[in-house]
């Protein structure tokens, strides 16, 4: 049973515009959320995270928003750059379960020049 869902398998955005990647979760015990970026034939690379006690975290061009009541989070990338083209995974963890990550299926982002 998929506890973390990314319902958009792909997204195409023009360079310079905003990319918004969405993620929903079902397990209310999750208390930490992370976004990872993955290129083919490489392991996931950590991008940004947010604790369940916050509703926003910003790091440069990347901002993650958390809506706990809706069990929804989103990653905003602005401005988008061609080098951002990759698969983005949303992940969630529960501090009572050893910090293991539950991943969504990923969204493939393509940023076109």
Partner 1 sequence: DTEVTQTPKHLVMGMTNKKSLKCEQHMGHRAMYWYKQKAKKPPELMFVYSYEKLSINESVPSRFSPECPNSSLLNLHLHALQPEDSALYLCASSQTGQGAEAFFGQGTRLTVV
Contacts with partner 1, residue ranges (CB under 8 A): 4, 31-32, 34, 36, 41-46, 49, 51, 89, 95, 97-106
Q: Least Å distance between CB 90 and partner 1?
A: 9
Q: Per residue, what are the HEC states of 49-107?
A: EEECCCCEEEECCEEEEEECCCCEEEEEECCCCHHHCEEEEEEEECHHHCCCCEECCCE
Question: How far apart, in whole angstroms, are the C-alpha atoms of residue 109 and residue 89?
Answer: 11
* Shorter beta-carbon distance to partner 1: residue 67 or 97: 97
C-beta closer to partner 1: residue 42 or 113:
42
Least gap, CB of 67 to partner 1 (angstroms): 19
Least Å from the CB of residue 60 to partner 1: 16
């Amino acid at each position: 049973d998929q506890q973390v869902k990314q319902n958009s398998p792909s997204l195409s955005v023009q360079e310079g515009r905003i990319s918004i990647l969405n993620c929903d979760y079902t397990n209310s015990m999750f208390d930490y959320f992370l976004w990872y970026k993955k290129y083919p034939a490489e392991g996931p690379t950590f991008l940004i995270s947010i604790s369940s006690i916050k509703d926003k975290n910003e790091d440069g061009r990347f901002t993650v928003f958390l809506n706990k009541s809706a069990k929804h989070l989103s990653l905003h990338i602005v401005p988008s750059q061609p080098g951002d083209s990759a698969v983005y995974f949303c992940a969630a963890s529960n501090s009572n379960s050893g910090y293991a990550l539950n991943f969504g299926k990923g969204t493939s982002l393509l940023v076109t020049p």
